[in-house]
Amino acid sequence: MERTVSFRLNGKAASVTADDERMLLWVLRSDLGLTGTKFGCGEGMCGACTVVVDGQAVRSCVTPLKDVAGKRVLTIEGLGGERLHAIQEAFLELHAFQCGYCTPGMIMTAHALLEKTKRPTREQIIAAMDDNLCRCGAHPRIVRAIEQAAGIGKAGAR
């Protein structure tokens, strides 16, 4: 059913008039031009499309627009300000990617984890990231980058 759905997007008010069953991924990418959120499998299996909704990492490819009505949606474009976010900086510093396609979903999943658990154990990081796939095999560096962003390891948290 077409209707106008209002929510907070990266800290600002947003309203989209569309079929309320339209998946959030396409609302973000096609309707709102936020192409940082990636389309991988389209079936909730890879994590490339992960965004944060009310503090939870969710798969936007299987999240209908109606499910975010009145909620806070954070995408990769909403991280950082004049400077990159600490997670983004750690990914860059530790080269926690190769092609980079999985990276926005990885960073948003890590962001949701660190918002809930400031200093996660390695096991907690691996568990939180387990369903985010990286076909380039960057997982070990991704885990180290999240540890670094959390202030575990050689650099402190910001």
Residues at the site binding ligand FES, with contacts judged by CB under 6 A: 39-42, 44-49, 59, 61, 97-102, 134-136, 138
Q: What's the closest the beta carbon of residue 122 comes to ligand FES, in angstroms?
A: 19
Nearer to ligand FES, 35 or 98 (CB): 98
Contacts of residue 42, Cβ cutoff 8 Å, sequence gap at least 6: 25, 61
Q: What's the closest the beta carbon of residue 138 comes to ligand FES, in angstroms?
A: 5
- What DSSP line would sit under 68-117, residue for residue? GTTSEEE-GGGS-SSS--HHHHHHHHTT--SS-TTHHHHHHHHHHHHHH-
Nearer to ligand FES, 32 or 136 (CB): 136
The rounded Cα 52 to chain-centroid distance in angstroms is: 6
Q: Are 41 and 61 within 8 A, CB to CB?
A: yes
Nearer to ligand FES, 9 or 46 (CB): 46
Q: What's the closest the beta carbon of residue 55 comes to ligand FES, in angstroms?
A: 19
Contacts of residue 123, Cβ cutoff 8 Å, sequence gap at least 6: none
Nearer to ligand FES, 6 or 99 (CB): 99
Q: Which two tokens stand for residue 13?
A: 């008010």
Q: What's the closest the beta carbon of residue 125 comes to ligand FES, in angstroms?
A: 16
Q: What's the closest the beta carbon of residue 118 comes to ligand FES, in angstroms?
A: 25
Q: Which two tokens stand for residue 104?
A: 């926005």
Nearer to ligand FES, 47 or 120 (CB): 47
